Amino acid sequence: MYGFTKEKYKSVIVRLKSVIVSHLKTQATHGLYGFTKEKYKSVIVRLKSVIVRLKSVIVRLKSVIVRLKSVIVSVISNCYYNENNPLNSLNSLNS
């Protein structure tokens, strides 16, 4: 899941940059370059904040995946233990 998210995120950034550059070229031909340059800078600042937020989401997702893996390992080891010790599992049911 992380790989897909990272690739999707990269493609969105590439498309946004392409739109910004195309918009800049259009504005430059109409003599509005100074205004557009400032607008472009604000868009870049916003994109950077989005990137930071996406990175924090990715970090949180990684920690969730790690916790899920440990839960899965715990459940599997419990099942394995109960299969190999049927009397212990029956005793635990009676308690």
Per-residue pLDDT tens for 68-92?
999 999 888 888 777 777 655 555 5
Q: What angle do CA 10, 13, 15 make, to 5 degrees?
A: 110
Tell me the per-residue pLDDT of 25-45, one tens digit each, with 9 for 90 and over.
776 666 555 556 677 778 788
Q: Coil, strand or helix: which one is 26?
A: helix
pLDDT for the residue 32:
58
Q: Which domain holds residue 34?
A: 2-94
Distant-in-sequence, close-in-space partners of 8: CB < 8 Å, separation ≥ 6: none
Tokens at 51, concatenated: 């990137």
8 A C-beta contact, residue 40 and residue 24: yes
Considering the entire predicted model, what is its pTM?
0.45
pLDDT for the residue 69:
92
8 A C-beta contact, residue 88 and residue 82: yes
pLDDT for the residue 37:
66
Domains identified in the chain, total number:
1
In one letter, which amino acid is 63?
A: S
